Amino acid sequence: MRRPVIRSRRTAGAVASAALLLPLLGAAPPGAVAEGGPADRLQLAFASAAAEYRVPQSVLLAVSYLQSRWDAHAGAPSVTGGYGPMHLTDARTALARAPHHSEGAEDARGDDARGPLLPVVAPPRPARLPARLRTLPAAAELTGLSPEALRTDPAANVAGGAALLADAQKELGEPLSADPADWYGAVARFSGADDRATASTYADDVFAVLRTGARRLTDAGQRVALTAAPHLVPDTAALARAGLRPASAAGTECPATVSCEWIPAPYEEFGDDDYGNHDLADRPASQPIRYIVVHDTEGGWEGVLDLVQDPTYVSWQYSLRSTDGHIAQHVKAKDVAWHAGNWYVNAGSIGLEHEGFLASPDAWYTEAMYRASARLVRHLAKRYGIPLDRQHILGHDTVPGPTSSAVRGMHTDPGPYWDWAHYFRLLGRPLEPTAGPEGGLVTIRPDYAAHRPVFTGCASRTEPCPVHGSSAVRLHSGPGASYPLIKDIGLRPDGSPSTTDVNDLGSRVSTGQQFAVADRRGDWTAIWYLGQKAWFENPAGKPTAVHAKGQVVTPRDGRASVPVYGRAYPEAGAYPAGVPAQAVSPLPYELLAGQKYVTGGKVPGEYYYAVTFDTANHRAVTGEDLYYEIQFGHRVAFVRAADVRVAQSGS
């Protein structure tokens, strides 16, 4: 009796899916070559694999879209060792990294009132990789195709994915139906998740793609299209037979649209005056949450989870898994995690760690993780009133050094290969022009896939990194590539030039950041940056920035320069008895007369005093001095409101 009832619910979806099973090439984007031409090969591979393994072509396309957006990445593995359009995993070597909190000179806590916290422990390597990281060998066994073909040949990879879906459907005791609605359980199993909540969230995402449809030009120049089936309703009953463990989101602060579990970071004493790995607080009642900080882990999921549960290590609020977008929460939003290297930012932020690697450009992130992260950020931003812009949705690489001595050691993740333009589209805030040329500002926005600046230092100091799409735009001291790169005296006090090293932020800007226009000459645009006029190539036919408008700050009349700060701390008179005043020390930069910098808004000077395990001594100090947050260089910074005046750009 069950199946006729479900069929009646899904009539419209079945009709739509029947259309999808017809030759999909007729729905290819305008401008695609004729059927069977070079740009149709991947579309044909989906049709062929669907027919061979009796998987609805639409389901195969939607699963692949959620994994890779149909990109092949030239056979390079993802951050979890996933290959090709179907993200078939073979992660034997993908987890042999140290987490970024274990590298460099950054004190993740960044609080001058306490000694530096520099973790040195490396993540343990799992004795056996979980099944979700070994799907490529399983596909090889099912298809008879070689592992090498599954890694490097997109058509073989698609066939491997189809075989895995068909095998999951059979294991569930379900028929190889032509109706996409019958494949919900198999899609959930394909995710590799071992719990029901994560698997169902993944399947829900795939069916959302089926309902909305998609079309795009892939990284290999393939035009692929999936026709929308807006009325498709999946049969979710098969999930109960998938043998997945139940999972609970109890204790988490996640939206219902993601899969989430509570894996707490410990608040424990472990020695004289030593405790970890975060501070209890009462945010936002005690002080606002203004920022969300995007990190990458530089390590695999299992090892990173072990570390965040170590009281001698550091902490962050959320971890996100690349294979399926699963989220673990470790620290409540009310409490202060130790993650960003700047205590002012830590005290006012929520940290998100994404499974990934900065200096491995080909180690790509899955669409599932990008989407889960965007949903979480949208939820948190709405809850705490955080603006969805690059001065509040920070990369760890845009968090300023709190003092001059800390500037050189600050971390640089998620780096130039995080796709900020795609991320902001998923956030519902696409980076579009907001003005004409008279607006006075630019929003950095290169075409991620086509924009491929040269970087070095991924494998060795001088060796070029693999050529790859990037969110970063390089800056020169004049209107041409022959001019030297812009210098950063904070990173190099001796005045030596910036480099193309993947971790050198001295002469580059990032997608979504906004700057005041200082000059234009031909195809080159100059912006105010670190107290200098910095030039980047911005041809009209292939722009790397779009026009914008907004508020800027400039020194008050009569001031030749004003100091720039890495944190907005209160004035000395604001501290109560028993709380030592923190130094308001400028960074080694100046904002000069005649220069303008985009502001992210006015903030009061704040400091959270929390140096003991006993919370009775914790205090949130708010001063009368006000600051403006500004986009000063690659990183944000702060200037005292008393030192500057605010104006509308373009005026």
Per DSSP bridges, beta strands 88-89 and 82-83 are antiparallel
Say whether both 545 and 616 belong to one domain.
no
The confidence score (pLDDT) of residue 18 equals: 31
What is the per-residue pLDDT across 497-556, written as a single tens digit (0 to 9) for each? 999 999 999 999 999 999 999 999 999 999 999 999 999 999 999 999 999 999 999 999
The lowest-confidence range among 12-26, 52-66, 326-340, 376-390 is 12-26
In a domain, 475, yes or no: yes
Torsion of CA 237, 243, 249, 250, to 10 degrees: 110
If pLDDT is split at 50, 70 and 90, which confidence band does 38 have?
confident
Q: Tell me the average pLDDT of the chain.
A: 91
- Indicate whether 246 belongs to any domain: no
Distance between CA atoms of residues 635 and 505, nearest Å:
9
Q: Does residue 23 register a pLDDT over 60?
A: no
Residues 611-617: contacts with CB within 8 Å, 24+ apart?
611/111, 611/113, 611/114, 612/273, 613/267, 613/269, 613/275, 615/280, 617/578
DSSP-derived 3-state class of residue 613: coil
The verdict on residue 161 lying in a domain is yes
212 in a domain, yes or no?
yes
Regarding whether 628 and 562 lie in a shared domain, the answer is yes
When mean pLDDT is compared across 167-171, 246-250, 476-480, 615-619, the lowest value belongs to 246-250
- Provide the residue type at 371 as one letter: R
- Looking at the structure, tell me whether residues 508 and 457 fall in a common domain: yes
207-221 tens-digit pLDDT: 999 999 999 999 999
My answer on whether 209 and 353 are in the same domain is no
Q: Is residue 389 part of a domain?
A: yes
Mean pLDDT calculated for residue range 421-435: 98
Same domain, 306 and 370: yes
What CATH number does the domain containing 66 carry?
1.10.530.10
The residue type of 275 is Y
> Average pLDDT, stretch 2-15?
30
Residue 107 lies in a domain: no
Pair 50, 17 in one domain: yes
The answer to whether the CB of 489 falls within 8 A of the CB of 588 is: yes
Q: Hey, what amino acid is at 372?
A: A
Total number of domains constituting the chain:
4
Whether residues 78 and 176 fall in one domain:
yes
Give the model's pLDDT for residue 299: 85
**pLDDT for 520:** 97
- Tell me: pLDDT of 81 over 50: yes
Residue 161 has pLDDT above 50, yes or no: yes
Same domain for 373 and 328: yes
Boundary-marking domain end, from 498, 526, 549: 549
Q: State mean pLDDT over 145-159.
A: 97
Tell whether omega for the bond before 414 is within 30 degrees of 0, i.e. cis. Answer: yes
The pLDDT value recorded for residue 459 is 86
Strand partners, 349: 291
User: Could you list the residue range(s) of the whole structural domain that residue 440 is in?
Assistant: 432-549
pLDDT at 245: 87
169-189, pLDDT tens digit by residue?
999 999 999 999 999 999 999
Asked whether residue 211 falls in the same domain as residue 305, the answer is no
pTM as predicted? 0.91
545 plus 569 within the same structural domain: no
Picking from 499, 524, 549, the residue at the C-terminal end of a domain is 549
Are 481 and 582 contained in the same domain?
no
Q: Tell me, what CATH number does 359's domain have?
A: 3.40.80.10
Neighbour tally for 249: CB within 10 Å: 17
Convert the pLDDT of each residue in 558-588 to its tens digit.
999 999 999 999 999 999 999 999 999 999 9
At which residue do the structure tokens 């673990």 appear? Answer: 328
pLDDT at 17: 33
Which tens digit of pLDDT belongs to each residue from 452-462? 999 999 988 88
End of a domain among 549, 569, 584?
Answer: 549
Tell me: do 300 and 392 sit in the same domain.
yes
For the purposes of burial, counting CB atoms within 10 Å of the CB of 318, is it exposed (0-12), middle (13-18) or buried (19 or more)? buried
| In a domain? residue 109 | no
What pLDDT is attached to residue 138?
96
427 occurs within a structural domain: no
